[in-house]
Amino acid sequence: MSQKMAERAAAKKIKDKWKAKTWYRILTPESLGLKEIAETPAETPEQVMGRVAETTLYNINGDIKKEYVKLYFKVNKIDGNQAFTQFIGHDVTQDYIRRLVRRRRSRIDAIFPLTTLDGYTLRVKITAIADKRINSSLKSAIRKKIMEAVLNNGTKMNFYEFVNYMLSEKIVQDIEKNVKPVYNIKKIEVRKSNLLSIPSAS
């Protein structure tokens, strides 16, 4: 077989392999609108299970100002050519955080676990930006107030209630209200979350 014929045979084999694959629509969970966020090819449904898809909060809620917020979903169920997912976390772009933290400003990071009413545990990272340099004791007081606000509300919600809350402006308003008696914070951002564990019955 000549080299050219071998190349054609190899190309046909690849083409046939792609033809044999099914395209699956990856959807957000129902609580986030069952929005299609990606398509992925696979030979069997089992190959799709566990795949992770990424989108932005802008693609979920239509707010162009939230394009810097990235959301991650893991496929956990297949029905026909639809791949359903579990929210597994989010983060914001590093460029966005760098723009917030400028000279003569203080950054306060609160990082803590939270377990929802239905037994899901997440690690939540919240960044607050003060408009000037502040001392470590004031930073500690602000950090405590941030955690207090989020835990007091989040532990009373089920998982997707908290996810929607965490991705909304309501959580920022609640944190600002709780922190205000200590310090008037310039900017608060729920910077990152990671799903650590799910209830064993799920």
Residues 55 and 73 in one domain: yes
Q: 76 and 139 share a domain?
A: no
Residue 102 has what pLDDT?
Answer: 74
> Would you say 160 and 29 are in contact if contact means Cβ atoms under 8 Å apart?
yes
Question: Each residue of 36-75: pLDDT tens digit?
Answer: 999 999 989 899 999 999 999 999 999 999 999 999 999 9
Q: How many domains does the chain have?
A: 2
Q: State pLDDT tens for residues 26-38.
A: 999 999 999 999 9
* Domain final residue, candidates 74, 92, 110: 92
The pLDDT tens digits for 177-191 are 999 999 999 899 999
* Residues in the chain, overall count: 202
Q: For residue 26, how many other CB atoms are within 10 A of its CB? A: 22
Residue 30: Cβ within 10 Å count = 9
Q: Which of 65, 92, 119 is the last residue of a domain?
A: 92
- Quote the domain boundaries for residue 156: 94-197
pLDDT tens string 132-155: 889 999 999 999 999 999 999 999
